[in-house]
Structures are given as structure tokens and as C-alpha cells.
């Protein structure tokens, strides 16, 4: 370090002074040359405007002379020559203010003055007047005399004198400006010389002080070098330690005294020592500081170090300063991993301070909101405010953050392009361990597509794909709503069932495609004839349902029916050019006269519609009481079912559940059947509703649960293997409660494994539990059983609930399977349900599969399993065992 003296302050001061004097000399030469060049340009170009004015006058005079000669019969004159001189005169005058070359260089003291532009404009005006007089004299010499031209020429001379005087005044102003500029340059040069003198004096004073500080400075530096926590060395070109400083032990565990005089080869493996020497020589060759990172195996493990190697002037030596950066590298690696994760996530991330100022955002934030990082940082999250939430909503967020440090929920935000979108957002207050909160971290996901998907599924579930009219389920809701409103307002509601007459003939003769086109046309025409406030829907097939609200009397419904029949009088023109005629039979029922529920009114309207068909079609009829089933038949059925329960006349049938991809029988769905007792045969679709309405369903449900688990245990004990048995819970069972306790008791009693039992619940049955539905499902799930939603797509459950339900499977209702792949409405809805299940991670099973085409379609769309007559109808336990379990021991 003794030999590595820095550059002398005297040398630095002398160099600065020399540079300053050189710069002053160069500045003087440049300013003088610049001023001289400006004078040359000014003097050379000052006469140009005057020359232009003189040329203009000369051309004007020549135009006048050629005019007189032409009139005198001079063959050397012509009108074109006169016109050319007038144009030259005008062009020369305009060039005085429009010249972009020479005149542009005269604008030293500013742009062309308004006075000059005004004077030239007046001159051009006189010149134009003179041109008109010349042309007039050429046309009619008697009308315009030579004296008139001489008068105009005199006016032109006067205007030219005014232009000349303004030009001379402008030139004098520019000369004065140049002289002032020369004086300013002189003052500037004087000031610069004084500054140089001052700098020289100041440098000499600083030189004296620098000499006094130099020795003291070196002593302080040496003390600092020995005291610093890093390790520093002076090494020669061969890697020999000349001096060692600092308290660190980054390069060697040996003492400083032992290292001086030794080389790096004495302490490190040869490959590493050669690397060190290479770094030293690289710094000496390049003449600049070299950074170098390396690792060493020390007693505590591998440590990383950062070295700065600086050459010492005029010596073949370097200063090597080494710092332990192991912890920094580990921290950087953690930060890098966090940054990669943050940038790679598809969720938007926004970090704010405690005052809500945005400090950091990730790439997904920009992708979702449209705001770049530069646009967002420094702002508040208020730039995303959509206007859809009132102040209490945001107060609730802040209250949750201040009290618990966390908030989560759905929030509507506005993108940069103005679009408003729903986001699912989680906000957490974060801080260093053991310290108060310092930041808020908001993580959000754009759920627009989920909302659109929900709306699409909801639309498909509630609207007919062909006609875009409300479907059967939607119309039932609309009718119930209308009944509730009529009950409050004490008004009437009409229900009209419109059935197209002989529509089957159209399908059979012309094909389903043309039939669909006709249905769409009928729907559109009926829609156009609706009254305000009435609702039209497609009830199914060729049936349409109308809900008439605010009826004053029954006759008003008849008027609507006549309107609908009249609307169908005109033929329908198909795309192929065919004209089709179609009529309709209409049945009408009224609330409250014919019933007080949607089901009753629709049933009554249906009966009335068939009466209209019986009476000749293309007409309408009101409901008649004698068309309903008698109450005696219902009472007889209830008695029969009560006896069947008491005498154990119910039995279980089993229908195989088949994997679509492999054809393997996964298990079976247990279905209850009623053994014949001598009376009319009754199917589940008939007796289950009666059992539910009479309250007997709970007793049957307990028996079914016990019988299914008993049979499953028996098969397992016999060595038969299967994945699962499925049993159904009816809507009424769910509503009445007690299911979980009974099933827990049955599982314990029979010993049937809970994981092999699947419980199916219909959408409607689940929603009857209302807000308790989620708790009910989790209680069932707690038993260890699998859960499935039956008849999915026919109920009213929201997708927002569905993603919260702990279910394993969605079961597609047979009503959507029957007409695929021909019915595009069912195809679209089935495809949507399968895609929804996949997105939610659920299995999908389709029921009612009867054809190979249906099975192929479902397999292609990704459905997991099916059941239906294609494989087998429901069979008795012994038959199921023989056919499907016999080879599975």
C-alpha cells in the first residue's frame, strides 16, 4: 500500500486549469468565427429583398410597355408575353416574404415583421389591380386608356417605395441586433477569462491544503483497512501476498503474518489458485476493477465470497477485497424464487402500504386489469373502483382488515378499458415477524368466465335452445311467481297450453329439421302477439305455455286464445321455399277457480287442451272439473302403499354402473320396486310421489338404506368385489331430516364400508334444505360416504353453491340423454354439464343410456360412466350377482 499512492492533487489541479484555458481559447475562436460568419451572411443577403422588389417593378413596367406595343400593332408583343411579365412581377414581390433560403437567413432578430408583410400585401394588391386594368385595356382600349395605366403604375411605384422603406428599416434593425450580439460576445469572453483566473487561484490554494492532508489521509486509510470486517490483500502478478488487511477470514484461516510472502498456491488447491491468479492478471491487463465471485469449503460448510480486484497504478500489483456474501446469495435465491412464483401465477397480486398506496404488482395484475406497472404504482386501489358497491361495502373490507388482518370475497372492479368484471379477492395484512403490519397483499382472480359460464348454463337450463323461449322449468317458476302476485293483488291468472295440431305429420313427412324451423317460426309469431306483461314459453315438443297475468275476467283469456289462433292463419314460408300451414288446440285454466298451484293449473290446461282436440282441433276450451282424476283413486293408492309397507312387499333391484372407457361394471344403483299384489302394476314414478306426499317416504327410506347395506355386506362376505353401491334420497326424505343419523346407525349395524356407499340426492331435494344444504352435505360426507347430485340440470341450484358442495359426482338426467345425439338442445346442455363437472373436478354419470350412439357420444365428450338398458335394466339381487359379480371374486 506504500507504493500505491494516488494521483497528486497538484497534478489534478494543473490538469483542470489547462483544460479550462484550452476550453476558453476554443470558445473564443468559435465565437469570433461564428460572429464573422453571421456578418458575412447578413451583408450578402441584405440586398436580396430589394433586388426582388426591383425585379417586380421592372416586370410590371415591361407588362405595361408590351401592352401599348401590342395595341400599336407591334408583332413582337403578345397577350401571353404581357401575362408572363405580370406573373413574374407578382412572383418576385411574393418572394420578398416567402423566400425560404436567403431571406430566411436574415431573420436574425426575429421573423419577418408584420409591417413588411402588410406593405408587400398592399403592393401585391396594387399589382393585381394594374393587371386587371391591363387585361381590360387589351380587351377594350377605348374603355381603359393609357392614362389609366400610367396612374396605376404611379400607385405601384408608391407602394414599392413603402415596401423599400420597410425593408431598409428591418435591415437596420438586424444590423443593430448583430452589433449588440458582438458586444455580448465580448462581455462573455471577458467573464470566461475571469472565471479561468479564479479557478487557477482556487486550485493553487487547494494544492497547499492537499499536501498537508496527504500524510494524515494515508494513515487513516491504513487504519480503516486494518479495521474493516472484510479481508483485503495486495497481491503481485504471481499471486503472492504483499500485504494483508482486515479482520475477515474469507480466503484462508491462517494468520495475516504467515500469509505475507506466501502465494495462493500455498493455501488453495491448484485449480482454484490458478483461477485466482487469472483474475489478478485480468485486472492488470484491463487496467480496471474486476468483480469475481467464488466459493470455498470451510469448516462450517461451503461459503460464497465476492471479490473486487483493482490494479495499483504503475505497479504489477492489485488490491483484492473479499466479502462473505453467502447469506446475501441465499436471500437473493429466495427472492428470485418468490419473484418467479409471483410472476408465474395466473392470479393478480397487488401490494400496498398501510395507506393503500400501491407499491408492487405482478404480470397477471396487468393482464387482468389492463393497467401497467408504471400506471398502477403510487396510485390507490381506487383506480379499479367499479361504482357497483356502496361505501358500506368498502368500510366492511377495512373493518375486517383492521380487526383480523384478512378479508375475502367477490368484488367488481373496472378494467383500464372501462369494462367492469367480477373478481374473487383475498386481502391479507403482512409484516415482518414480531412487528406490526406493514403492507396489505391483495390476490385476486378474474371470475368473469365463470360468471359467463354460470349464466350460459343457467340460460341453457331455463331456456329452450331452438326457440330461445323459457322452457318447462322456467315457465313453472314464472307461473308460481304470477300466482303469488295474483294472491296478493286478488287478481286472476290464466294458463294457456297451445298444442300444434298434427305437427307429427310435418316431422314424419318433411323431417325434423323442417319441423324445428316451423317450431321456431310459430314461437316468433306467437311472441309478436303477446300482451304486455304476459309470458310465452316452450313447454315441450310442439306445446307452448302462456301465462296471462292481471286478467279481469275469463273472457279476456278467450280473446287472447282467439288472437293466438288467428296468428297461425297465415302460412309459414320455410327456407326451402315451402309454405306450411299449422293450427293449434288451446286449453285454458284459471287461478284461483281451477287450482292454486302451477302444477294444478298446467294439468288442468292440458286436460282442456285435449278436450279442444277431441272437439275438432283449431279451437280452445276451458278446463272442466270432470276431466280430473277422482280423489277416490288417490285414496285407494295410498291405502295400497300403506299395506305394501306393512307387509314388506317392496324389494330392491340393481342396475349396473358401467365405465365408459373400459366397459367395466363399477357397481350398481339400488332401485326400489313394488311386488305385484293382484292390483294394477305401479312403477316408482307413480308411487314415490304419493309416498312423499303422504309422509310414508321416510319409513321406506330407512328400509331401503338398511336393505342396500345388508346386501352389499353379504356380497363382500361372499368374496364379490365392486367399487360402490348407490342409493337414492328423495326430496321429502331430505326435507324431513334424520337421514344422517339413520345412515350412521345402518352402517354401524351392517358393517358395510362407508367408502363403498354412494348417496344420490336430487337438486330439488337438496335445495329444499335451503341454507342448511351445505351443512347437511358435510354431515353426510363425514360418514365417509360418496355424494352424487342426481338429475343434474333439472333443478335450480346455483353454480356458486355447486362449487362449495362436497360432492363427488354429477348425474345427468335421462331427459337430456333420450334424444341425443339428434336433439341439439340436449347435446349442448349435456356437453356443458360434462365440461362443468370437469372444471370442478367431479365425476360424471349419465342415466337412461339405451343406444350405442348415446354411449359413443358420451364417451367422446368425456363422460365417466353410464347406466341404462344398453347394458341392463334393473334386475333382482340374485340376477345381478350372477350376471355381473360372478367373475369378480
Percent of the chain topping pLDDT 90: 34
Q: Is pLDDT of 276 > 50?
A: yes
The architecture in CATH of the region 633-885 reads Alpha-Beta Barrel (3.20)
Query: 3-state DSSP call for residue 276?
Result: helix
Domain boundaries 454-628, corresponding CATH code: 3.30.70.270
Per-residue CA distances from 377 to 35, 141, 347, 357 (Å): 52, 83, 18, 7
Q: Which of 321, 295, 319 is nearest to 307 (CA)?
A: 321
Domain 345-446: which topology?
Answer: Beta-Lactamase (3.30.450)
CA distance 103 to 109: 12
Kindly tell me if the per-residue pLDDT of 325 is higher than 70: yes
CA distance 762 to 792: 7
Work out the pLDDT band at 769, boundaries 50, 70, 90. Answer: low
> Where is average pLDDT lowest: 128-132, 143-147, 336-340?
336-340
Phi-psi region for residue 770, left (φ > 0), alpha (ψ -120 to 50) or beta?
A: left
pLDDT in tens, 606-617: 999 988 888 878
Is residue 624 within 8 A of residue 615, CB to CB? The reply is no
Tell me if residue 435 falls in helix, strand or coil: coil
What nine digits make up the cell of 88?
413574374
Question: Once rounded to an integer, what is the mean pLDDT over residues 81-107?
Answer: 72
- pLDDT tens, position by position, 340-353: 766 767 888 999 99
Average pLDDT over residues 42-48: 68
**C-alpha to C-alpha distance for 149 and 126, rounded to whole angstroms:** 12
Q: Tell me: the pLDDT tens digits for 799-831? A: 666 778 899 999 998 889 999 999 998 999 999
Q: Which CATH architecture has domain 228-329?
A: 2-Layer Sandwich (3.30)
Confidence of residue 727 (pLDDT cuts 50, 70, 90): very high
CB-CB contact of 817 with 848 (8 Å)? yes
Residue 248 has pLDDT above 90, yes or no: no
CA distance 20 to 14: 10
Report the candidate in 243, 239, 263 with the shortest Cα–Cα distance to residue 316: 239
Mean pLDDT of the chain: 83
- Check whether 265 has a pLDDT greater than 50: yes
Cβ–Cβ under 8 Å, residues 767 and 734: no
C-alpha 63/C-alpha 61 separation (Å) is: 5
Determine the pLDDT at residue 226: 56
Point out the least confidently predicted range of 156-165, 330-339, 579-588, 641-650.
Answer: 330-339
Answer yes or no: are the C-beta atoms of 823 and 460 closer than 8 Å.
no
Q: What confidence category does residue 100 fall into, taking pLDDT thresholds of 50, 70 and 90?
A: very low
SS (H, E, C) 357-396: CEEEECHHHHHHHCCCHHHHCCCCHHHHECCCCCHHHHHH
Closest C-alpha to 192, from 15, 13, 19, 28: 28
Residue for grid cell 362436497: 806
> What is the structure's pLDDT at 221?
56
Give the model's pLDDT for residue 820.
92
3-state DSSP call for residue 567?
A: helix
The residue with cell 341454507 is 771
> pLDDT tens digits for 671-690?
999 887 766 778 888 888 88
Per-domain residue ranges of the chain = 12-203, 228-329, 345-446, 454-628, 633-885
Distance CA 513, CA 265 (A): 92
**pLDDT value for 107:** 46
Which cell numbers hold the place of 225? 483497512
Instruction: Grade residue 217 by pLDDT with cuts at 50, 70 and 90.
Output: low
CB-based contact 63:89 (threshold 8 Å): yes
Contact 845, 834 (CB under 8 A): no
Taking 80 as the threshold, does the pLDDT of residue 471 lie above it?
yes
- 241-255, 424-438, 598-612, 807-821: least confident range: 241-255
- Which pTM does this prediction carry? 0.36
Q: How far apart are CA 576 and CA 582, in angstroms?
A: 17
CATH topology identical between 454-628 and 633-885: no
Which of the pair, 879 or 507, is modelled with greater confidence? 879
Which pLDDT belongs to residue 630?
A: 36
- Give the rounded percent of residues in the chain with a pLDDT score beyond 70: 86
Amino acid at each position: 500500500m506504500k507504493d500505491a499512492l494516488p494521483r497528486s492533487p497538484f497534478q489534478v489541479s494543473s490538469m483542470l486549469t489547462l483544460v479550462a484555458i484550452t476550453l476558453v481559447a476554443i470558445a473564443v475562436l468559435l465565437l469570433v468565427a461564428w460572429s464573422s460568419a453571421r456578418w458575412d451572411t447578413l451583408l450578402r443577403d441584405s440586398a436580396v429583398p430589394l433586388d426582388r422588389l426591383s425585379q417586380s417593378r421592372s416586370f410590371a413596367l415591361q407588362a405595361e410597355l408590351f401592352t401599348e406595343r401590342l395595341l400599336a400593332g407591334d408583332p413582337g408583343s403578345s397577350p401571353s408575353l404581357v401575362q408572363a411579365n405580370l406573373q413574374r412581377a407578382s412572383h418576385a414581390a411574393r418572394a420578398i416574404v416567402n423566400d425560404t433560403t436567403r431571406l430566411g437567413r436574415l431573420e436574425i432578430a426575429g421573423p419577418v415583421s408584420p409591417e413588411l408583410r402588410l406593405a408587400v400585401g398592399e403592393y401585391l394588391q396594387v399589382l393585381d389591380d394594374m393587371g386587371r386594368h391591363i387585361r381590360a385595356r387589351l380587351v377594350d382600349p377605348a374603355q381603359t386608356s393609357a392614362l389609366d395605366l400610367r396612374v396605376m403604375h404611379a400607385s405601384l411605384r408608391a407602394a414599392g417605395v413603402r415596401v423599400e422603406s420597410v425593408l431598409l428599416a428591418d435591415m437596420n434593425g438586424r444590423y443593430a441586433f448583430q452589433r449588440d450580439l458582438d458586444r455580448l460576445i465580448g462581455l462573455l469572453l471577458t467573464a470566461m477569462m475571469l472565471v479561468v483566473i479564479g479557478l487557477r487561484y482556487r486550485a493553487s490554494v487547494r494544492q497547499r491544503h492537499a499536501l498537508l492532508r496527504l500524510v494524515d489521509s494515508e494513515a487513516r486509510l491504513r487504519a480503516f483497512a486494518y479495521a474493516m470486517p472484510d479481508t483485503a490483500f495486495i497481491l503481485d502478478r504471481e499471486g503472492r501476498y504483499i500485504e494483508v488487511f482486515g479482520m475477515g477470514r474469507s480466503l484462508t484461516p491462517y494468520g495475516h503474518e504467515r500469509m505475507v510472502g506466501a502465494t495462493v498456491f500455498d493455501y488453495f488447491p491448484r485449480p482454484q489458485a490458478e483461477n485466482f491468479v487469472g483474475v489478478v492478471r485480468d485486472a492488470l491487463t484491463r487496467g480496471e476493477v474486476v468483480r469475481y465471485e467464488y466459493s470455498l469449503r470451510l469448516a462450517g460448510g461451503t461459503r460464497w465470497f465476492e471479490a473486487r480486484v483493482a490494479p495499483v497504478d504503475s505497479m504489477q500489483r492489485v488490491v483484492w477485497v473479499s466479502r462473505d456474501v453467502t447469506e446475501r446469495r441465499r436471500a437473493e435465491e429466495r427472492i428470485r424464487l418468490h419473484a418467479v412464483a409471483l410472476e408465474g401465477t395466473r392470479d393478480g397480486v397487488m401490494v400496498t402500504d398501510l395507506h393503500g398506496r400501491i407499491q408492487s404488482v405482478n404480470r397477471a395484475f396487468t393482464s387482468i386489469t389492463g393497467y401497467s406497472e408504471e400506471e398502477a404504482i403510487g396510485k390507490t386501489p381506487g383506480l379499479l373502483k367499479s361504482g357497483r358497491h356502496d361505501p358500506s361495502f368498502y368500510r366492511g373490507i377495512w373493518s375486517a382488515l383492521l380487526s383480523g388482518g384478512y378479508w375475502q370475497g367477490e368484488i367488481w372492479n373496472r378494467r383500464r378499458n372501462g369494462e367492469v368484471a367480477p373478481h374473487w379477492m383475498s386481502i391479507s395484512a403482512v409484516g415482518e415477524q414480531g412487528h406490526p403490519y406493514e403492507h396489505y397483499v391483495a390476490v385476486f382472480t378474474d371470475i368473469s368466465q365463470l360468471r359467463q359460464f354460470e349464466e350460459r348454463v343457467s340460460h341453457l337450463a331455463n331456456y329452450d335452445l331452438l326457440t330461445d323461449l323459457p322452457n318447462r322449468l322456467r315457465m313453472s317458476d314464472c307461473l308460481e311467481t304470477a300466482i303469488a302476485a295474483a294472491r296478493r293483488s286478488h287478481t286472476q291468472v290464466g294458463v294457456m297450453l297451445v298444442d300444434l295440431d298434427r305437427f307429427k305429420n310435418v316431422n314424419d313427412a318433411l323431417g325434423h329439421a323442417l319441423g324445428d324451423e316451423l317450431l321456431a317460426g310459430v314461437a316468433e309469431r306467437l311472441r309478436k302477439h303477446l300482451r304486455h306483461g304476459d309470458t310465452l314459453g316452450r313447454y315441450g315438443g310442439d306445446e307452448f305455455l302462456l301465462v296471462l297475468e292481471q286478467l279481469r275476467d275469463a273472457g279476456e283469456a278467450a280473446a287472447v286464445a282467439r288472437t293466438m289462433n288467428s296468428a297461425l292463419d297465415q302460412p309459414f314460408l320455410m327456407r326451402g321455399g315451402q309454405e306450411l300451414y299449422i293450427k293449434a288446440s288451446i286449453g285454458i285454466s284459471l287461478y284461483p277457480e281451477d287450482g292454486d298451484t302451477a302444477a294444478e293449473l298446467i294439468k288442468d290446461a292440458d286436460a282442456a287442451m285435449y278436450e279442444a282436440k277431441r272437439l275438432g282441433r283449431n279451437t280452445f276450451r276451458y278446463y272442466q272439473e270432470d276431466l280430473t282424476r277422482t280423489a277416490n283413486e288417490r285414496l285407494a293408492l295410498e291405502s295400497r302403499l300403506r299395506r305394501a309397507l306393512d307387509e314388506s312387499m317392496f324389494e330392491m333391484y340393481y342396475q349396473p354402473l358401467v365405465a365408459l372407457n373400459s366397459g367395466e361394471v363399477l357397481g350398481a344403483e339400488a332401485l326400489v320396486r313394488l311386488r305385484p299384489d293382484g292390483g294394477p302394476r305401479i312403477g316408482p314414478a307413480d308411487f314415490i310421489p304419493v309416498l312423499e306426499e303422504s309422509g310414508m317416504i321416510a319409513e321406506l327410506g330407512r328400509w331401503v338404506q338398511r336393505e342396500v347395506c345388508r346386501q352389499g355386506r353379504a356380497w363382500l362376505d361372499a368374496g364379490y368385489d365392486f367399487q360402490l353401491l348407490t342409493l337414492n334420497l328423495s326430496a321429502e326424505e331430505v326435507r324431513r331430516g334424520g337421514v344422517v343419523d339413520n345412515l350412521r346407525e345402518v352402517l354401524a349395524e351392517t358393517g358395510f364400508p362407508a367408502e363403498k356407499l354412494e348417496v344420490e340426492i336430487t337438486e330439488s331435494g337438496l335445495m329444499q334444505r335451503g341454507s342448511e344444504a351445505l351443512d347437511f352435505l358435510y354431515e353426510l360426507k363425514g360418514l365417509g360416504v360418496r355424494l352424487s347430485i342426481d338429475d343434474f340440470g333439472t333443478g335450480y341450484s346455483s353454480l356458486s353453491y355447486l362449487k362449495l358442495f362436497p360432492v363427488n359426482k354429477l348425474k345427468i338426467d335421462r331427459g337430456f340423454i333420450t334424444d341425443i345425439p339428434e336433439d341439439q338442445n340436449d347435446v349442448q346442455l349435456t356437453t356443458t354439464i360434462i365440461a362443468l363437472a370437469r372444471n370442478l373436478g367431479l365425476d360424471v354419470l349419465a342415466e337412461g343410456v339405451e343406444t350405442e350412439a348415446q354411449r359413443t357420444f358420451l364417451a367422446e365428450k368425456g363422460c365417466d360412466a353410464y347406466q341404462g338398458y344398453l347394458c341392463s335394466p334393473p334386475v333382482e339381487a340374485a340376477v345381478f350377482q350372477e350376471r355381473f359379480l360372478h367373475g369378480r371374486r
